[in-house]
A and B are shown apart, each in its own frame.
Chain A
């Protein structure tokens, strides 16, 4: 079963706009990670946020984590056509396994 569930399932925006996607999960975690997948390629790690962190930034990416609500958000600011991809959240509880959500498909129109 999937631990993380992304919302929305699909998102279409204009270049330059911000894109926000959310992830909810069910059990306690050690960390939550976001990955990007371009069509026909493998997943690429974007950012990892630990359970004791609330916010993290990397370039145009901003991730928040609310462990009380068991939710996370990924914000991509000033989107570019190259940001068109699927974005997945993944949770790591105790142990070494990641559990992935179903992903959000993002289309950035030029």
Chain B
């Protein structure tokens, strides 16, 4: 299996621009998670989906962040407008259904907002 695929790997953009991060989960996985990792705050869960439906978005920092999962093989995380404090590494992870299943992570998108 190809694993979780994220794109782009790196993104540098100016403050105020819209940023779209993309994720393709492992085929057959029912759960998809978006995380943000920074030195100061560590790894934070932003939102997760089950069968393409958002279940818990309590970690989304503010209304500038939105996430969608239009089908089982694709999800996006958008930031509009972006701010320098959004600079971080964003990870997508997926997991199969059932108890005691591990999460499988992509290699992340390193986002820098200037």
Residues of A within 8 A of B (CB): 2, 30-31, 33, 35, 40-45, 48, 50, 88, 92, 96-103
Q: Top 9 A-B pairs ranked by shortest CB distance?
A: A42-B105, A45-B102, A100-B43, A43-B105, A42-B107, A102-B42, A31-B100, A42-B106, A41-B107
Residues of B within 8 A of A (CB): 4, 31, 33, 42-43, 45, 48, 50, 55-56, 91, 93, 95, 99-100, 102-108
Majority DSSP secondary structure for residues of B touching A: strand
Contact A50 to B43, CB < 8 A, known contacts A42-B105, A96-B50: no
A-B contact pairs, 13 of them (CB 8 A): A2-B42, A31-B100, A40-B107, A42-B4, A42-B105, A44-B105, A45-B103, A48-B100, A50-B100, A97-B48, A97-B56, A98-B103, A100-B43
Chain B residue at minimum C-beta to C-beta distance from A4: B42
Chain A residue at minimum C-beta to C-beta distance from B99: A30
Q: Which residues of B contact A99 (CB under 8 A)?
A: 45
Q: In the complex, which of the residues A40, A42, A92, A101 has the most CB atoms of chain B within 10 Å of its own CB atom?
A: A42
